[in-house]
Amino acid sequence: MTPPTPAPTSTPTLVGRSSSHFTRVTRIFAAELGVPYAFQVVPDLRSVDAADYVGNPALRLPILRTGPTTWFGALNICRELARRAPEQRRVVWPEHLTDALTANAQELALQAMATEVTLIMSQLAGTPSDDAQVIKLQKSLLNMVSWLDENIQAARAALPRDRDVSYLEVCAFCLVTHLEFRNVLATSGFRALTAFCDDFGQRSSAQSTAYRYDAP
């Protein structure tokens, strides 16, 4: 049996970008959970030096530094933030989604976020827009967002009513708002997702984490 982790005292440092949807997921969680953090910007996503990603061998952000420990990836970080929360909050994590509707919504929200990253990085690398793989990724993204639009209302209704926050809703919100922010896909025609973002976007955690480009 692993001994209980001592209560954390020092302020953690979140390493990411204010324009990154995976980073925003963690910032919304920090705000919802009332966990303070310092923020450090990764200046260039094209860097292939793991040191620029606090040692994350995947060369990806966000990363959370808690003293000598580093946490790679948004879900790990959100869980660590939850362990640090001054008061317990009712969080719906991916493993709580045991019906196909909500579990598939979580899968597709995360896959759409990852697909969007690949499309943005391909564009940054100068891949032509008529590249066969880019065309497939765009079609896949459109399919996933359409599916989410058709199912978001029912998926939300299936979540526990007494939740404070769910990983699914935070991911879906960060995805849809990011598609617009980065001009990857126009989302205004997706009525259910737009209504969801209007609703979720009223939270102060959403309003205090709006996307912006960090100074170079």
Ligand X SMILES: N[C@@H](CCC(=O)N[C@@H](CS)C(=O)NCC(=O)O)C(=O)O
Which residues partner with 70 through β-bridges?
Answer: 65
Measure the CA–CA gap between 185 and 152, rounded to whole angstroms.
Answer: 18
Q: Nearer Cβ to ligand X, position 153 or 181?
A: 181
Strands 38-41 and 63-66: unpaired
Q: Which residues from 33-52 bind ligand X, rule CB under 6 A?
A: 45
Residue 162 DSSP symbol? T
Q: Which residues from 109-128 bind ligand X, rule CB under 6 A?
A: 117, 121
Q: Nearer Cβ to ligand X, position 8 or 94?
A: 94
CB of 21 to ligand X, least distance (A): 5
Phi, psi dihedrals of residue 11, rounded to the nearest 5°:
-75, 125
Q: What is the dihedral of CA 140, 189, 169, 180, to 10 degrees?
A: 80
Q: Which residues from 3-22 bind ligand X, rule CB under 6 A?
A: 20-22
177 binds ligand X (CB under 6 A): no
For ligand X, which residue of 74, 172, 184, 193 counts as binding (CB under 6 A)?
Answer: 74
Q: Which residues bind ligand X (CB under 6 A)?
A: 20-22, 45, 59-62, 73-75, 117, 121
